[in-house]
Structures are given as C-alpha cells and as structure tokens.
Chains A and B, each alone.
Chain A
C-alpha cells in the first residue's frame, strides 16, 4: 500500500509536480499564502489560486544558531524571490550553513522532502529551496 502524504502547509501542492499555490486578488493581483478575508493591498473580496514559479533567487538570508527547543540548528532561513516576483520564505537546503557558502542572489529551486509521519502512517511533505545549479 502506498504511503499517504500530506503537505506541511495548505499552500504546498504535491501534484502533478510540487509547487506553491498563492491566492491572487482578482482586482489588484496581490498574492497571499494564508486564508483571506479580503485583500490587504486593495480590499478586494475575491481571489483565485495561482501556481507560483518553482525557481527564483536568494533575496536575503539568516543563518539561525539559536531557536526554540526541538528546532535543529544551525539552518539557513531564506527569503526567495520566485521568478514571477512572489516572495517566499523557507529553509535553504543542500548548502552548508556558513556565510561563505550562501551567496545573495544565487539561483534556487523548490524541493520537497519528508518531514515526519503521524500515527496513521501519513507522511508530512515539507518544502525548501536548493541551489538551482545543483
């Protein structure tokens, strides 16, 4: 029997290929990842789901050495500007958490990986970004 999978957050779509889905305001085009009551940019009331580009570049980062108990450190927290201009935050993966190894502006791509299993065997799928060239 195939393992059931569930995305870490509702805005991560796993099929057909993993990608993020933003809620885009029908009036002004502002994009959000959370459940909306109205648009924070223009006050519009209607949204449509749109896929977010799975490639982009590293706009900012911090290498986090101190965090809550249970959070593995160090890790690289990354602010990524997707190719369509949407801003996304996630960990930067497959790069040593050293300042010299993380380059501002570096091209990155969305990747997914398993991040835990619940008591019914459902696997949580998380996302992050990895160097696009790798």
Chain B
C-alpha cells in the first residue's frame, strides 16, 4: 500500500475585501465548501490544521469548529508568515502520514482589510528624550529609512535588483511584463480580487511603491479563506468511484527554512530555501520542471516572481529575463505561471494564500477550472514563501483513475 496522501475536496472564497463578513464567515465558507466538494462531513475529520497569521492567538480552529461542528478532534493552529497556509497543509499531511489520522482538513484564512504597507516599522509614540542604545543592534532611534528599508516591496525589490546585478537581460520591463501577465490572467478568474487587464505602459506608469515595483506590481491586502480535505490512500480506496476520480495526489510536500548565507541577516535570501524546497519536491515526486503543466508561485511582487522562475528551475540558470520575454509563463506558453492571477491580482490574504494555490492547481488537474482551465493539466506545482523565512512547495498530480 502506498502512503500517498490525496486531496479529496477543496474550496476557496473569493479573495476581496469582504465587508460585513468576519473571519469565521470566511473560514466556514471554505471549510464547508471543501467538505461538500469531497462528499464528506465534519464528523469524519480526525484533525484540523488551521492557518491564520494576524489572528494567530485567537484559537481560530476552535472557533471554526464551534461554528461548523465541535467533534473534539485535535486542532493545530499554525502561523508561519506567508507560508502559513502551506504549513497547515503540511501539518494535515503529516498527521495522516504518521498514521494518527486518515482524514484531515487544512484551512487558511485571513482578514486584512486595507492593512497598507507590511514590514514598515511601527510608529514610535514619541521620539526618545535622551538617546539610549536599545535592542539587538543597539539603535538609539528608528533606523527605517536611514539604514535602508525593511518594507516588503523594498525588500523584494532589492531581491529582484540583485538578480539583475548578477544576470543580464533583467530590468524594469521584465518586472512590468510579469505584472501584465498576472493581471491579464486574473480577468478569467471569478475568485480574484482584481479582474482588470492593464497595458505595460499603465503598469510602468502606475505610482512607484519601491523601485522596481510600481503599485500594479504589488499584491494587495485583502480577505479570504481556502481549505482542502486530505485523506490517506487507504481511506480514499474505501470511497466512491467518483470521489476517487476527482481526488488529486500530493506527490510532494516540502517545507524549508533559510539556511545560513552571508548577508542573509541584512537582506533576506529568498532564493536558497526556495531552491532547496524545489529540488526536494522534484525528487519526492519523481518529476522535473519540464513536466509541470502549471505553476502557482509566490508573486507577492513582480520582482519576486522573476527570481522564482530561476529558483524553481522553470528557466535556464540566470535566464529568468528571457523566460518572461519569451512568453513562456503566460497561460498559452510552455509553463503557465499564476494562471489564477497570482498574488498580484488574485490577492494575498496571507493565511489563505498557501491553501488557495493548492486549490487552484487541484482545480486545473480535475479539469474544473472553467474559463481559465489549462487544457489537459496533469501535474502542477504550488509554491509559497514566508519572509523570515519559510518556503512551502507542493507538487500535485491528477488521479490516474
């Protein structure tokens, strides 16, 4: 018997600013949607892994089951920055692999509203009267805007520019083209926060947030939830032919953190842990990047997507600029990337993101993605990175049945 873990059901809410709906409304919609989609009930679950970041201290998993069914099962509330959702999936999968559970729900939910810029220093109530060194760097005042930036668009802007420093053929135009692609893709996705196409000129002329990232190259904040019901292979075999036909195999599930690299303390290295995760995932799944029919990767900013082409081995080493210029990651290209619209346009309610990209890939593998369906998709990859850092990579495969 294989110890494979399968996705039996999956669902997500639309990503948007859900006025008048709270965290539990969103979590319940996604959870009940995934259970219904899998043809099972809350009473059949052995484990819940619930991911949320900004409400991480609120026992949201318990609150959710309080709404949809308090069955007394183990609940793991998890938080792992932007990798929170992928971590919830991993926890559910590990519970099944351990033999303690045969059916588990992984859920990610976030309500951010118009949260604004992440990573900016909290405003100090008042400037210190007398300079006194404090903290691990012995600073006497806020260093934000003096010793560079730690805001997310700036940090990922620097990551993209470092790639441009090391490799030819990468600049503002390539970053803009990535945003062009993802906005264009989102027009086909009814679950996306934004569904508007923009021209390259409009993207380049939109307000600069942190060069090279203009506003239209940055993901928005928003609200949403996504969920997946996972089952062991043994449990799946006991289910109906229709449930087995629609099940999607998790061929690889990997979570890495950042190994030490020189300078990583100064400018987060989002490359090494992504490469490590991708390489481990390809080995686990026994597939290569050339086998992928679609990829959902963590395009929190256009500059991030570009470097992940290389990190996920989708292009030749150093060739991320050529890759986007060639059109390869457009939905009609050789390796469609972020056909959902990606974080840039589908949205990025942080805890939900890492489950939503698994929803997206699974939906294509089932042939149920409607207008945005990638024809005959058989294998897909979902990637997230949470700064700090954690990287989750999942490879999914269509059922052979």
Residues of A within 8 A of B (CB): 6-11, 30-35, 40-41, 58-75, 77-79, 81, 85-91, 99, 104-105, 115-116, 118-120, 122, 124, 126-128
Q: Using Cβ atoms and an 8 Å threshold, which residues of chain A touch B117?
A: 66-68
Give which listed residue, A34, A59, A64, A89, contacts B136 with CB less than 8 A: A34
Pairwise interchain contact A79-B154, C-beta atoms closer than 8 A: no
Give which listed residue, A69, A91, A116, contacts B148 with CB less than 8 A: A91
Q: How many residues of B contact A (CB 8 A)?
A: 50
Q: Is residue B73 contacting chain A, with contact meaning CB distance below 8 A?
A: no
B260 to chain A: closest CB distance in Å? 4
Q: Using Cβ atoms and an 8 Å threshold, which residues of chain B touch A69?
A: 123
Pairwise interchain contact B165-A104, C-beta atoms closer than 8 A: yes
**Bound complex: CA A85 to CA B187 (Å):** 46
Least CB separation from A89: chain B residue: B148
Pairwise interchain contact A66-B210, C-beta atoms closer than 8 A: yes
Interface centre among A11, A67, A72 (most CB of B within 10 A): A67
Residues of B within 8 A of A (CB): 117, 120-123, 127-131, 133, 136-149, 151, 153-155, 157-159, 161-162, 164-165, 172, 207-213, 260, 262-263, 265-267
Q: Using Cβ atoms and an 8 Å threshold, which residues of chain A touch B148?
A: 77-79, 89-91
Pairwise interchain contact B265-A67, C-beta atoms closer than 8 A: no
Pairwise interchain contact B120-A105, C-beta atoms closer than 8 A: no
Give which listed residue, A7, A34, A68, contacts B120 with CB less than 8 A: A68
Pairwise interchain contact B210-A6, C-beta atoms closer than 8 A: no
List 13 contacting pairs A-B, 8 Å CB cutoff, sorted by A: A6-B133, A8-B146, A9-B138, A41-B260, A63-B211, A68-B122, A69-B123, A75-B145, A79-B267, A85-B262, A87-B266, A91-B145, A104-B164
Q: Using Cβ atoms and an 8 Å threshold, which residues of chain A touch B159?
A: 60
